């Protein structure tokens, strides 16, 4: 009822605009990241336009990125997730915002959309001059046996998170007192959770369940979590989250679910294992919502998203699409890709509004710049991974690993950051970066993301002037350092090799013997850096020498000595840390 009155008030307001002259009528489907930013931007650019924003769910503009933290209790109040309400859109932006209103059909020829009131089922038809689709990407929900059992949840919307919280708080009924021949039902707290999928939603939810005291198993079909990063970097994250209480079951897909005892669910995996759970979280990834677009005959790309041009226009010039539902050009590789991230969705919404309002805005493509936090640590990445380049058959790249401190080592609290930098061999252009650590990982990847977007090379990183005081960074910031290491490689000052390069080089470890006692590669010759100049006679001149240390830094100094003394030497990039990342990195 309240809704109906509000709708009337809006119609009156819009009638007023109609009397002003030529009015553009824009309908926006989807009222969260892409849709809401498009609506608000369009209003800022065009005070006269009639803007209708329809949202199938009960809320607009909510923070889905905060949902795992609401489940964990970090964000205690559900209302904190509601960034702007239907009323905000009406009152501040004069947008006809309709929740529980679903767009069910587009007729491109007539330029109309059929809208269904979710509560009443009533269908109305609205005409449009321009239509914007931002329907997002629902969670993948395969038709597995038992998938609809109670206790199995997704984390995509506010009602999803509410349902999870209610389920967790309810405890589970179980039979007790059987020894007295008088079984009675009682309630015990829920304690075991199985999360399916090791992407960022799965991992964030798993972390939050650990914080709530759950025994958490994360089942992942791939042989690593966080699929966008390279495996050796993912190994570091895996070691870290396991140490903080998440049990990982990699290389194992879920096969189905069975009702267990006392309201529990048994998660059955393809390898034949059974994981009993009081709650199951499905986080198997997302798939672009293209139902409306398909029914309107819009072009769908080969990755399954709505195909748009750089102005976010679909194959129909009066229909735009933004956000998780569209395919975008990968900024680095130029390939079409699906990027389900809030930043691109918001920017695309804004660009679509600009274009509708007659401006020349263009979307540059996406680099997939992302970050995820877990137990005080973080992993962030931008641009192309090595595995993506390999998949594309691109061999014009080189990689370096480095482990700088997050700020000056002498200032308390410095933590190592593990970085992998990927750049073009032919011209030094930065292609991708991945970083993990417990302090200020985000600002390094953000700087590198900007560098990629500006077409920077590793030589530019060497020269980047970044802010520095000891508690924030180093005079040679990790970003500079990354450029210096990579540029040393390209200039030939530091030839490198990798653990997977197959050759019969001599392995020279320049660490101290006590370090080798803890861990060393098989067959190495050990000459500590401090003794190297005196013991050069022990090394062959006709054979390549691969120099190892813990992180690559001492090996670099040794490589420089050897090269200048006429030896054929290469630094083994990243040293022992890049070989055994998972176990040793976080101990610093």
Binding site for ligand FAD (CB under 6 A): 29-30, 32-35, 54-57, 64-65, 67-68, 102-103, 134-136, 155-156, 201, 289, 292, 323-325, 340-343, 345
- Closest CB 136 distance from ligand FAD, rounded Å: 3
Distance CA 205, CA 70 (A): 10
- Closest CB 332 distance from ligand FAD, rounded Å: 18
**CA trace torsion 475, 480, 486, 489 (10° rounding):** -40
Contact between 516 and 509 (Cβ < 8 Å)? yes
Contact between 421 and 569 (Cβ < 8 Å)? no
Cβ closest to ligand FAD, residue 361 vs residue 551:
361
Q: Which residues contact 564 (CB under 8 A, 6 or more apart)?
A: none
C-alpha closest to that of 365 among 351, 355, 354: 351
Place of tokens 């409306």: 292
Distance CA 12, CA 184 (A): 61
| 65 is known as an active-site residue | yes
Distance CA 283, CA 156 (A): 9
Decide: helix, strand or coil at residue 48.
Answer: coil
- Closest CB 233 distance from ligand FAD, rounded Å: 19
Which one from 38, 65, 467, 549 is the annotated catalytic residue?
65
- Closest CB 368 distance from ligand FAD, rounded Å: 10
Cβ closest to ligand FAD, residue 102 vs residue 354:
102
- Closest CB 137 distance from ligand FAD, rounded Å: 7
Q: For the residues of 359-377, what is the DSSP string, one character each?
A: -------B---EEEEETTE
- Closest CB 323 distance from ligand FAD, rounded Å: 2
b/e map 263-272, b = 16+ CB within 10 Å: bbbbbbbeee
Q: Which residue is at the shortest CB distance from ligand FAD?
A: 323
Beta bridge partners, 97, equal 53
Cβ closest to ligand FAD, residue 87 vs residue 291:
291
- Closest CB 209 distance from ligand FAD, rounded Å: 13
Q: In degrees, to the nearest 5, what angle opens at C-alpha 522 toward C-alphas 520 and 526?
A: 60
With helix as H, strand as E and coil as C, how does 216-280 read?
Answer: EEEECCCCCCCCCCCHHHHHHHHHHHHHCCEEEECCCCEEEEEECHHHCEEEEECCCCEEEECEE
Cβ closest to ligand FAD, residue 323 vs residue 552:
323
Distance CA 471, CA 453 (A): 28
- Closest CB 380 distance from ligand FAD, rounded Å: 11
- Closest CB 324 distance from ligand FAD, rounded Å: 4
Cβ closest to ligand FAD, residue 338 vs residue 414:
338
Distance CA 336, CA 326 (A): 10
Cβ closest to ligand FAD, residue 34 vs residue 552:
34
**CA trace torsion 509, 513, 518, 522 (10° rounding):** 40
Helix (H) or strand (E) holding 212: none
C-alpha closest to that of 448 among 475, 467, 462, 430: 430
- Closest CB 374 distance from ligand FAD, rounded Å: 12
Distance CA 184, CA 452 (A): 64
- Closest CB 160 distance from ligand FAD, rounded Å: 8
Cβ closest to ligand FAD, residue 41 vs residue 156:
156
Distance CA 272, CA 276 (A): 13
Cβ closest to ligand FAD, residue 232 vs residue 289:
289
Decide: helix, strand or coil at residue 405.
Answer: strand
Cβ closest to ligand FAD, residue 378 vs residue 487:
378
Per the structure block, which two tokens stand in for 268? Answer: 């059955």
Cβ closest to ligand FAD, residue 332 vs residue 352:
352
Q: For the residues of 140-203, what is the DSSP string, one character each?
A: P----TTTTSTTEEE-SSHHHHHHHHHHHHH-EEEEE-GGGT--EEEEE---EEEEE--SHHHH
Q: For the residues of 79-144, what is the DSSP string, one character each?
A: GGGB-S-HHHHHHHH--EEESSEEEEEEETTTTEEEEEETTT--EEEEE-SEEEE----PBP----
Cβ closest to ligand FAD, residue 353 vs residue 508:
353
Active-site residue list: 65
């Amino acid at each position: 009822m309240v809704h109906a009155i509000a709708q009337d008030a809006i119609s009156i307001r819009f009638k007023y605009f109609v009397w002003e002259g030529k009015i553009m009528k824009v309908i926006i489907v989807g009222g969260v990241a892409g849709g809401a930013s498009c609506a608000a931007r369009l209003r800022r650019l065009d005070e006269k336009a009639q803007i209708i924003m329809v949202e199938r769910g009960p809320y607009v503009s909510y923070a889905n990125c905060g949902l795992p933290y609401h489940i964990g209790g970090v964000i205690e109040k559900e209302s904190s997730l509601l960034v702007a309400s239907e009323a905000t859109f009406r009152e501040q932006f004069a947008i006809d915002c309709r929740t529980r209103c679903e767009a069910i059909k587009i007729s491109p020829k007539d330029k109309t959309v059929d809208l269904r009131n979710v509560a009443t089922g009533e269908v109305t038809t609205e005409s449009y001059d321009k239509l914007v689709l931002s329907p997002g990407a629902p969670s993948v929900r395969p038709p597995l046996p038992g998938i609809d059992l109670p206790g199995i949840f997704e984390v995509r919307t506010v009602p999803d998170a509410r349902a999870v919280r209610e389920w967790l708080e309810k405890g589970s009924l179980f039979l007790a007192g059987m020894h007295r021949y008088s079984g009675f039902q009682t309630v015990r707290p829920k304690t075991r959770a199985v999360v399916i999928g090791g992407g960022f939603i799965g991992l964030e939810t798993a972390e939050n369940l650990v914080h709530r005291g759950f025994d958490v198993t994360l089942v992942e079909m791939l042989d690593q979590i966080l699929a966008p990063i390279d495996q050796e970097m993912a190994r570091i994250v895996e070691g870290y989250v396991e140490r903080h209480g998440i049990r990982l079951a990699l290389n194992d897909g879920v096969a189905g679910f069975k009702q267990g005892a006392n309201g529990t669910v048994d998660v059955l995996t393809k390898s034949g294992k059974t994981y009993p759970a009081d709650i199951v979280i499905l986080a198997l990834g997302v798939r672009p919502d293209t139902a409306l677009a398909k029914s309107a005959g819009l072009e769908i790309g080969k990755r399954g998203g709505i195909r748009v041009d750089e102005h976010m226009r679909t194959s129909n010039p009066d229909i735009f699409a933004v956000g998780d539902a569209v395919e975008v050009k990968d900024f680095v590789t130029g390939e079409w890709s699906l990027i389900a991230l809030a930043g691109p969705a918001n920017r695309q919404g804004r660009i679509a509004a600009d274009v509708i309002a007659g401006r020349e805005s263009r979307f540059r493509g996406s680099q997939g710049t992302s970050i995820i936090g877990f137990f005080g640590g973080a992993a962030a990445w931008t641009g192309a991974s090595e595995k993506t380049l390999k998949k594309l058959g691109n061999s014009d790249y080189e990689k370096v690993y480095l482990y700088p401190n997050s700020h000056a080592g002498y200032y308390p609290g410095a933590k190592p950051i593990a970085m992998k930098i990927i750049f073009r061999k032919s011209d030094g252009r930065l292609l991708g970066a991945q970083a993990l650590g417990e302090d200020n990982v985000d600002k390094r990847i953000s700087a590198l993301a900007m560098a990629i977007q500006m077409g920077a090379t590793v030589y530019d990183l060497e020269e980047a002037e970044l802010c520095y005081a000891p508690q924030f960074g180093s005079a040679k910031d990790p970003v500079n350092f990354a450029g210096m290491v990579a540029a040393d490689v390209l200039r030939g000052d530091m030839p490198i090799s990798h653990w997977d390069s197959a050759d019969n080089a001599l392995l020279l470890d320049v660490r101290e013997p006590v370090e080798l006692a803890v861990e060393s590669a098989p067959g190495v010759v050990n000459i500590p850096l401090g003794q190297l100049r005196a013991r050069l006679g022990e090394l062959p001149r006709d054979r390549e020498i691969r120099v190892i240390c813990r992180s690559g830094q001492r090996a670099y100094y040794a490589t420089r000595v050897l090269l200048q003394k006429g030896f054929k030497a290469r630094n083994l990039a990243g040293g022992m840390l890049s070989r055994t990342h998972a176990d040793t990195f976080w101990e610093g």
